[in-house]
Structures are given as C-alpha cells and as structure tokens.
Chains A and B, each alone.
Chain A
C-alpha cells in the first residue's frame, strides 16, 4: 500500500498494467484460501478427535465430549454465578496489576544503575522462576481468605516482567536519534514525547502483556487455595466433585476470557498505537 502511494501517477499506471496483475492477485487469493483451509481443518480435526475419543478411548463421564461442555457452559451463563465469580476475579487483577505496573516500572528505572541492578537481580530472576503455587500458598497461609492475599501475590509474581522490559527498553534507547534531536535543538519535552516515549512504548507494552497473563494465572491459583469466590475457587469445587464437565466448562470460560483480554483487547490497542512499526517494515 505505502509503496503505491509514493509512486507518481504514471508509475502507478505502469504497475497496474492489466492481466499480469490479475493473475498474481488470483494466485495470492488462492494461497490465502489454501492457508485458511488448512487452518480450519486443524481446528475441526482436533475437535473431532476429542469427540471421538470421549466414549471410545475413555468413558464419556471422564472425558466429556465437546457438546457436553457446551451445554454446561450454557447452564453457567443462565445461573448468574458467572458474574459474581468473574467480577471478584477481575477486581483483584485490576488492583494488583496496577500496583505491579508501578512497582515494576520504578525498579526498571532504578536498575539503570549497576548497583541497583545487582541489588535486585536475584529477586527478579527468582520471581520469574518460582512456581505460582508457591505464591498462592504463601499468601494463603499469611492472609487467609482476605482479598489482600491475591493482590500481594499478583504484585510479586508479575512486577518483574515489567521491570525487565523497561530496563531493556532503556538500555536500547536510540542514542543516534537523541543526539540528532539535540543537534537540531529540539526541546527536552518534545524529545520525550517524540523520541523517548515512542521508543519505550513497545517495551512497556510487552511487559504489560506478559505480566498481565501471569497476573491472571496467579489470581486464579490463589483462589483455588484461599478464597470462597472467584473462578479459581469454583474450579477447585468442580475438581473436588470429580465433575469433569463442570471443570472443563469453567476452564473454557476462563480460557476464552483470558484470550479475549490478551489477544483481543491488548492486541487491538497495540496495533492502534504502533502503526508506525508496520510502516517501517514495509519500507
């Protein structure tokens, strides 16, 4: 697109000369159709595999077929439990992750100094490799069923992803562009707005995206062990009742919501924000 826009009118005419273009477009379309065909075939295949396996490979009580799970999801939606559990979980994530974001950014800025970097290094490494289970149990044993527990767990489990990305972003600051703007006497404010922030934004975004997905998982985990509300709590109940249908239904809801928030909303914002990156790639 960008290429054709740059071209002058007579060049455009040269580019869009008749048949060859159409043949190529048709080829491209054919390729896209093939690609989507294989993709959809992938989805269908695995759903069918699941459907066939339940009842033959394992009893359909244990491995509930897709239709059974769908029915269960419908019931959950009607019962009204969904919104209660969901809003409880989402609130904790909202508060916890906001705190984690500010803590993570602060430490990320601090680690520009080598001393502070060494100070925080082991902490950052170990928070990323420590299983979520450990956070869940520790806050469970200290805070009991209080909602402070999950929030603390979220902060500790997810801040380091923000930290690391902020640190990496600052380390990669485009010195050449900053020098250039200094040479042209660009004001510091404008430099911040036009050079430094646009450079840092993608790094921050990666940190948020990843930290957020960790926050999700940790919240649900703490709910499994120390809560009487929330998606994690209800998943544990279904597990203890040996109800595979209920468990899979709640898992599906959890999963779809997570994908929606991560892939849908965050990715949409990202594409909005970072359109210039696309253009750089075309050039």
Chain B
C-alpha cells in the first residue's frame, strides 16, 4: 500500500508541501507566528512584537542607527579582530602541535595543560584579559588567541598521529622524491584536521571575541549588543541577536561548507554528507575524547 502510494506522482500542492526547501522556509515563519502569538497573549511590557524588531533591523541594514557605528562597521571591526587573533593562534598552535606530535616528552609535558586551556570558558578569557589589558583591541584579540590555540594544537596533533604510514611506505617503494611526498601525501592527509581546527577554532574564537568586546572594548558587534541592552531597548537586543544568527549561518553555510565541499571533493559522497552535517563541536568533542583516550592508552598499555 505505502509503496504504491509513494510511487504515484503526487499532486502539485502535496509535492510542494513535502519539499525540503519548503520545510526550511517554514521554520522562520513558524517562529514569527509563535512570537506574534506570545506577544499578543502574554502582554508583558518587555517582549517586543516581531514587527518592531524587524523594523529595527531594517533601519540598521539601511545604516540608520542610534549607536556609534553602523551594523557593517561593527561586524567589520569584530571580524578584523577575529582574523588577526586567529591567524596568530594558527601560527603558534601549528608549531606547538607539530612539536607535540613529533617529540614524545613535549607531548607529555604540554598535553594536560592544553586540555585544561581548552576547557577554560570564554567568559574567563574575556574577564581576565579585560582586567589585564583594559579597554582596546588587545583584550579581544588575546581572547581569540587563547580560545583558538588549543583547538589548533589538538587537531594538528591528531593529524600528525594519524599520518598514513602505508602511503609513505608506498612512496618510498616507488622512490618518490621527498618534496613531492610532502605535497601530495603529507599535506593532503593533514587537511581534514587543519580544516577542523580552522572551523571550530574560528567559531569558538568568535564566541569569546564578542564577550571580550563587552568587557574590554568600546566598539564591535559584541559591544553594540551590550549597548542596546544597557539602553533597555529590547528590539535592539533581539534585532542584533538575529543579526548574530544570520552572521553565523552565512559563515557556516556560505563559507565553511563551500570550502569544505571543495577541499574534500575527493571523498566519496556518503562520507561527504557526514562531514557536511556533522556538528562542529560534537565532532571535535569526539576527536578530543578520542585523543584523551589514546593518550591514556599510551600510558597504560
């Protein structure tokens, strides 16, 4: 019965309703509807209506703002800090990660410290750097570095530990020169780990950055949402919150997913899907747990 029903071509309204694109567009509409209902029935003074928030957002998009900087300036300032901080984290993390991967004592010496630093909440980074450096660019950038480095280190370390020995052996048997082995075997095999570091380090650096801007800066996206909060403008806070969500989606779907699809085009389709839909942190968590377990194994067995 069910098979027969499924194989019959559906009428067009049913087809549209069943389409996954419809589902995707339906979600924000449902949220808006629920929000509107809550606004009408809860009658709290503070919950702004969707219309009010959307009109605030529209003003911001047109660069008509009461805040010190426009939407674009705020996000540009933050993005600039994020990139600078993360590049530094990448450079330092790469060196330390490689050293840990290649020299056992260095690994033992630093591993626990790295795991502890990874667990430091970004709030802690923001508050401490805020007290140490005061207002300015330093605290946010150092926060990004501090948050990003352990991600880079752990992933580079994983990458080195997982280097494909059998492919190096193969290259050796065919007398392939070292430079070509580095380019065609070593670097591509490190790519997934490098990319993971990039993606999750960047996402977490971003979270830390906006916090640091709240406590130790006078501009940027984090500072601006705090500005609306302090001004008790609920529509400002909610509007900016939605900008954050949009920014995250654009970064994730528009940049990282595309780059990942290109970089990993050699992966069979099934695997690719897993990579695409895998969740940043859950994945890294698994990787970190694996790393911890492997380290433990090396100790006991």
Asked whether the complex places CB atoms of A and B closer than 8 A, the reply is: yes
For the complex, count residues of B whose C-beta is within 8 A of A.
65
Q: Is there contact, CB below 8 Å, between A122 and B299?
A: no
Q: Is there contact, CB below 8 Å, between A141 and B238?
A: yes
Given A35-B108, A123-B27, A255-B120, are A140 and B279 also a contact pair (CB < 8 Å)?
no
A42 to B117, CA, bound (A): 13
Q: Is there contact, CB below 8 Å, between A118 and B211?
A: no
Q: Is there contact, CB below 8 Å, between A38 and B27?
A: no
CB distance from A97 to the nearest CB of B (A): 16
A48 interface residue per 8 A CB criterion = no
CB distance from B228 to the nearest CB of A (A): 8
A residues within 8 A CB of B119?
213, 255, 258-259, 262
Q: Is there contact, CB below 8 Å, between B124 and A251?
A: yes
A128 interface residue per 8 A CB criterion = yes
| Contact indicator per residue, chain B 123-153, by CB within 8 Å of chain A (1) or not (0) | 1100110111000000000000000000000
Given A42-B113, A142-B46, A210-B281, are A118 and B123 also a contact pair (CB < 8 Å)?
no
| Contact indicator per residue, chain A 29-53, by CB within 8 Å of chain B (1) or not (0) | 0001011011101110110000000
Q: Is there contact, CB below 8 Å, between A130 and B244?
A: yes
Q: Is there contact, CB below 8 Å, between A251 and B128?
A: yes
- The CB with the most chain A CB atoms within 10 A, among B24, B206, B226, B300, is that of B24
Given A133-B222, A137-B226, A220-B123, are A58 and B132 also a contact pair (CB < 8 Å)?
yes
Q: Is there contact, CB below 8 Å, between B215 and A239?
A: yes
B residues within 8 A CB of A209?
285
Q: Is there contact, CB below 8 Å, between B241 and A138?
A: yes
Interface segment out of the listed A14-22, A160-168, A192-200: A160-168
Given A122-B27, A131-B222, are A42 and B131 also a contact pair (CB < 8 Å)?
no
Q: Is there contact, CB below 8 Å, between A38 and B127?
A: no
A187 interface residue per 8 A CB criterion = no
B105 interface residue per 8 A CB criterion = yes
B residues within 8 A CB of A144?
46
A residues within 8 A CB of B281?
128, 161, 210
CB distance from B97 to the nearest CB of A (A): 16
Determine which of A32, A122, A130, A254 lies in contact with B24 in the assembled complex, contact meaning CB atoms within 8 Å: A122
A131 to B116, CA, bound (A): 21
Q: Is there contact, CB below 8 Å, between A141 and B237?
A: yes
Interface segment out of the listed B7-15, B168-176, B248-256: B248-256
A43 to B282, CA, bound (A): 28
The residue on B at minimum CB distance from A35 is B108
| Contact indicator per residue, chain A 217-245, by CB within 8 Å of chain B (1) or not (0) | 10011001100000010010001001010
Q: Is there contact, CB below 8 Å, between A141 and B232?
A: yes
Majority secondary structure of chain A interface residues (helix, strand, loop or mixed): helix
A residues within 8 A CB of B289?
206
A233 to B109, CA, bound (A): 35
Determine which of A132, A140, A206 lies in contact with B207 in the assembled complex, contact meaning CB atoms within 8 Å: A132
Determine which of B113, B123, B131, B280 lies in contact with A129 in the assembled complex, contact meaning CB atoms within 8 Å: B280
Q: Is there contact, CB below 8 Å, between B127 and A239?
A: yes
A247 interface residue per 8 A CB criterion = yes
Q: Is there contact, CB below 8 Å, between A134 and B225?
A: yes
Given A115-B23, A137-B226, are A131 and B206 also a contact pair (CB < 8 Å)?
yes
CB distance from A273 to the nearest CB of B (A): 14
B121 interface residue per 8 A CB criterion = yes
Q: Is there contact, CB below 8 Å, between B112 and A119?
A: no
Interface residues of B in 233-263 (CB under 8 A from A): 234, 237-238, 240-241, 244-245, 248-249, 251-253
- The CB with the most chain A CB atoms within 10 A, among B112, B116, B222, B282, is that of B282
Q: Is there contact, CB below 8 Å, between B279 and A43?
A: no
B residues within 8 A CB of A244?
131
Residues of A bordering B, CB below 8 Å: 32, 34-35, 37-39, 41-43, 45-46, 58, 62-63, 114-126, 128-134, 137-138, 140-142, 144, 160-161, 164-165, 168, 206-207, 209-210, 213, 216-217, 220-221, 224-225, 232, 235, 239, 242, 244, 247-248, 251, 254-255, 258-259, 262
Question: What are the 6 tightest A-B residue pairs by CB atom distance, in nearest-first order?
Answer: A38-B108, A129-B248, A118-B20, A118-B23, A119-B23, A131-B207
Q: List 16 contacting pairs A-B, 8 Å CB cutoff, sorted by A.
A: A37-B108, A39-B112, A46-B113, A114-B20, A126-B252, A128-B279, A131-B210, A132-B123, A133-B225, A142-B47, A142-B234, A206-B289, A217-B121, A232-B123, A239-B215, A259-B116
Q: A130-B244, A161-B279 are in contact. List 6 more A-B contacts (CB 8 A).
A: A39-B109, A142-B46, A210-B282, A220-B121, A239-B131, A244-B131
